[in-house]
Amino acid sequence: MLTYQDFLENQDDITGFIERALSDHASDPMVVTAELADEYDKQKNRTVMNYAKYLYDTNGTKIIDTTASTNRIASNFFHRMITQRTNYLLGNGIEFASKKDTKEKLGKTFDSQMKVIGRNAIKHGLTFGFWNKDKLINFTLREFIPLWNEDTSALSAGIRFWQLDDDKPRNVVLYEADGYTEFSDDSTGKHLIQLADKKPYISIIQHTDFGGDEIVGYKNYSDLPIKAMWGNPTHQSALIGLRAKIDAYDLIASGFANDLDQCAEIYWLIQNANGMDDRDLMEFRDKLKLMHIAKADRESTVTPYTQEVPYAAREQFLNMIRANIYEDFGGLDVHTIAAGATNDHIDAAYQPLDEEADDFEFECTEFIKQILALQGIEDEPVYKRNRISNQMEQVQMLSMVANYLDDETILANIPFVTVDQVKNIIANREKQDMNRFNFSDETGDDDA
């Protein structure tokens, strides 16, 4: 593991240090898991996709059974789980408690980028957010090498890299607190070269009526503008522990499909037909399948049989694994909520998801506060969890206590009103109230 202190000790050979960091990064256990998690997120579950049925010959040699059915059914559990947890907390956007202009300072894409960052944090276990002047950008664990400080455990520098294809040049950016430096491959494509001197993060632009916009200076943030976002307190991918259950589900489902494919629906046993060769048997079978009737010798008898694949035990096992996946991940299986359920029943079903979302909310809040600190803002993020409910019951409860609440609180608790809509609704209502009054200077009194 290369640290920030290792980077400081190799200032005389920065390109060599970056080359070493790139080489080590590919074998990092968290990066290997992140690559695997991306496959499961895309429903390319590695275990079932690589599964093959083998036979053993008389010498004990292991060979692939080319006659076996090769149905490979990959479930979508992992994608479903991480999407559910992300949207549950971040699907309605984020508001802030203290200052009304905080959201405006974070830009129009802040909510959407937080969903991307949050999702990758759950999926990979760790991801990074780069505050780039007026917007947030996600650096995934597979494209960014963190350089942790050995003394403070803080992220003190980092290396981002990308390459469009194997025959294309590598692009590398080294991020430090006092600026960033760009690198790329030389003409041979084997060694990195520095493209320019280190650049500051912020350009100071001055506008004049004669010269237009002009860069008059540069500055940096108070700290490295890249912050780490963890997906959970265990600091590991959500795939850990869940993969074995997903693989078991996929293999059972695929095996069941293969058995159905390989099983003959009807077969016949012919007795006293020793005079028939393989060609005669095939002709006899074809007539049975086509005409449903065939002529047999007087002494020969034909007995039909049907073969059924056992499914009850498999179906029960699949249902059990499905329930375990939702339980272990802390997800909500909507099939467990009956139609017309009260909010008490719905809240009970949401309890595991709420508990996991509490941990995720803590990680999101810590990350957002670091982004706000870069801009000198002190505020607290506010979330509205995206959950189903008995909306009629919830609205009726709000109506009963409406006299004790202000308009903003009432709107914030209406289930079909999002966080971003609350302020717009209040502003529109105030505008409508103002339009009801006539502010004309004329009194309408002719005798005045």
| Mean pLDDT across 330-356 | 80
Q: Are residues 361 and 215 in the same domain?
A: no
* 137 and 12, same domain (yes or no): yes
The answer to whether position 62 is within a domain reads no
What is the number of H-type helices and E-type strands within the chain? 14, 16
Cβ neighbours of 134 (radius 10 Å): 12
Q: What is the pLDDT of residues 239-268, one digit of tens each?
A: 999 999 999 999 888 887 776 666 656 667
57 domain residue, yes or no: no
- Which residue shows structure tokens 């971040």? 90
Which residues are 214's β-sheet partners? Answer: 206
Q: Are 202 and 214 found together in one domain? A: yes
Taking alpha carbons only, the member of 384, 381, 379, 380 closest to residue 411 is 384
Q: How many CB atoms lie within 10 A of CB 280?
A: 12
Question: Does one domain contain both 9 and 140?
Answer: yes
pLDDT exceeds 60 at position 126: yes
| Predicted local distance difference test score (pLDDT) of residue 265 | 61
Number of folded domains that form the chain: 4
> What mean pLDDT do residues 132-139 have?
93
Which of 40-44, 76-80, 233-237, 272-276 shows the lowest mean pLDDT across its residues? 272-276
Q: Tell me, yes or no, whether 182 and 137 share the same domain.
A: yes
Going by pLDDT thresholds of 50, 70 and 90, the confidence category of residue 438 is low
170 near 21, Cβ under 8 Å?
no
pLDDT value at position 409?
A: 79
pLDDT band at 281 (very low <50, low <70, confident <90, very high): confident
Domain shared by 5 and 114, yes or no: no
**In this model, does residue 171 exceed pLDDT 90?**
yes
Q: What is the pLDDT of residue 417?
A: 74
**Least confident segment among 34-48, 128-142, 274-288:** 274-288
pLDDT in tens, 16-62: 999 999 999 999 999 999 999 999 999 999 988 887 766 666 677 77
pLDDT of amino acid 13: 93
Please choose, from the candidates 241, 304, 307, 297, the residue with its C-alpha nearest in 3D space to the C-alpha of residue 273: 297
Question: Do 407 and 336 share a structural domain?
Answer: no
- pLDDT, mean over the chain: 84
Q: Give a yes or no: residue 448 inside a domain.
A: no
**287 and 293 Cβ atoms separated by less than 8 Å:** yes
68, two tokens: 């076996």
172 within domain boundaries: yes
Question: Residues of the chain with pLDDT > 70: what percent?
Answer: 85
Residues 409/426, Cβ–Cβ less than 8 Å = no
* Whole-structure pTM value: 0.77
DSSP SS3 for 263: coil
For residue 425, give its domain range: 390-438
Q: How many residues would you count in the chain?
A: 448
Q: How does pLDDT run across 375-408, given as a tens digit for each residue?
A: 999 999 999 888 765 566 667 777 777 777 787 7
Domain membership flag for residue 66: no
Given 230, 248, 281, the domain boundary residue is: 230
Sequence-distant (6+) residues with CB within 8 A of 388 are 334, 337, 346
| Cα(115)–Cα(88) distance, integer angstroms | 10
Q: What is the reported pLDDT for 433?
A: 73
**Distance between CA 418 and CA 396 in Å, rounded?**
18
CB 139 within 8 A of CB 128: yes
Secondary structure of 201-251 in HEC code, one letter for each residue = CEEEEEEECCCEEEEEEEECCCCCCEEEEECCCCCCCCCCCCHHHHHHHHH
Q: Report residue 448's pLDDT band, with 50, 70 and 90 as the boundaries.
A: very low
In a domain, 70, yes or no: no
Query: Alpha-carbon distance 105 to 101, whole Å?
Result: 6
Average confidence (pLDDT) over 326-347: 79
DSSP designation for 199: B
Q: What digits encode the pLDDT tens for the residues 74-125?
A: 999 999 999 999 999 999 899 898 777 898 899 889 999 999 999 999 999 9
Q: Which residue has the higher pLDDT, 181 or 255?
A: 181
Single-letter amino acid code for the residue at 88: Y
Q: Which residue has the higher pLDDT, 318 or 410?
A: 318
Main-chain phi, psi angles of 251, to 5 degrees: -70, -40
One domain for residues 185 and 134: yes
Judgement on whether residues 183 and 299 belong to the same structural domain of the protein: no
In a domain? residue 68: no
The amino acid at residue 65 is: D
Please report whether residue 12 resides in a domain.
Answer: yes
Claim to verify: residue 157 and residue 287 sit in the same structural domain? no
One domain for residues 364 and 242: yes
Q: 135 and 24, same structural domain?
A: yes
What pLDDT sits at residue 373?
93
Q: Is the pLDDT of residue 66 over 80?
A: no
